[in-house]
Amino acid sequence: MSYRFLLVLLLSFYSYAVYSDNKALAINSAELCSYYGEPLPHLVHTFAPDYKTENIINRIVAYSGLRQNFNVVASNVPNAAAITRSGERYLLYNQEFMSTATQKTHTYWAAISIMAHEIGHHLQGHTLDGSGSRPEKEIEADEYSGFILQKMGASLEEAQAVINIFGSDEGSTTHPPKERRLRAIRAGWTKSLQLSAMGKKHNTAGFVGKNSQTASRYELNDGLVTDVTTRLIWTRCSIGQTWNGSTCKGEPTKYSWHQIATKHFDFAGYNDWRLPSSEELKSLLDCQGKPSKKNRACKGKSVKPAVISKAFPNTPKNTPFWSSSMDSDNVDGAWVVDFSNGKERYNHKNHSFAIRLVRNM
């Protein structure tokens, strides 16, 4: 299978039919922005979206601060596309391509970045001017994708993973070359990071070291912890432990990274729990002393485990925690965070470690 996806977009105003619930909708390329610019088949069949994709869409839209103004449907498009027909907006995606993108990039952020890109087209009104895909539109959508993924906790490498692997080195009349798209994602990701840093600079309620106050940053709700600084919701207990109303009982269940990648977790009425990135895990560190610059590890005397015990009681200190973060140069491993000393290190995916789940507010 070839992954060189930048082909020539069909001639403007070429009509297609989209079948959804046995109803045909006529669509033309002037109302369409696709991820790589391939021509669509003459007949595009649509199906109900899977629940994982719906969760992804809900999370992305939540971070935009706007209401969803488009329909999400699975279809036989080559990858993904934002389209408008008679004022009705759609986001089409190919389930097989999303699975392939995740496997090739070794990160679940791949699917999120593609969806964020297409949502960017809709939020920017790119499908409404009758000109279809154009390089400048793709750049704006890429920048939006980088911005949203940083807010959601992705590293820059994770935000750029799909374009890095599938992008073309050469541009076209509809889509810019890979290098320009990577710069756009970086620009959006960096902008989001800078805005987050400004917010933290003016937020004096966050906790640091011995003088921190649990209530100023963490909202505790039985077995859940809401971090008002990072806007993340955590499970108070490691998976395998049980919240008994006052503490986490038992020992954590240890998983290999591969086991986690295929496991689905439902907890406290939510089904969108995920494995945190290494940066998200490190945001929980509280050394109660001066952390070293290297790997943000705790140095000197420090409480073990290096977390706020009131928020995360009985956190195991004899096992690291898996993160979702990987290194593109070494697909066999992923990063773990050790709360006994605050260190971050790389481990083979076959090893078994604890996990703590997170979801976005």
- pLDDT tens per residue across span 28-63: 555 667 787 777 766 778 888 888 888 889 888 888
Which of the four pLDDT bands, split at 50, 70 and 90, describes residue 246? Answer: confident
| Whether the predicted pLDDT of 302 surpasses 80 | no
CA angle 131-132-133, nearest 5°?
Answer: 120
- Token look-up 């992954």 returns 3
Which of the four pLDDT bands, split at 50, 70 and 90, describes residue 107? Answer: confident
Q: Are 312 and 346 in contact (CB under 8 A)?
A: no
**Domain-wise residue ranges, the chain:** 15-198, 209-360
How, if at all, do strands 32-34 and 80-85 pair? antiparallel
With b for 16 or more beta-carbon neighbours within 10 A and e for fewer, the 282-303 pattern comes to bbbbbbbbebeeebbbbeeebe
| Whether the predicted pLDDT of 7 surpasses 50 | no
pLDDT recorded at residue 159:
92
Mean pLDDT, residues 332-354: 90
pLDDT recorded at residue 301:
63
| Statement: the pTM of the whole predicted model exceeds 0.75 | no
Beta strand extents in 154-247 (DSSP E only): 218-221, 224-227, 232-235, 242-243
Q: Are 185 and 160 in contact (CB under 8 A)?
A: yes
Look over the chain and give the mean of its residue pLDDT values, rounded to a whole number.
Answer: 79
Mean pLDDT, residues 117-142: 86
pLDDT recorded at residue 213:
41
Helix or strand (DSSP H, E) at 141: helix 135-152
Q: Are 324 and 107 in contact (CB under 8 A)?
A: yes
Closest CA to 121 of 133, 108, 109, 131: 133
What percent of the chain shows pLDDT beyond 90?
A: 26
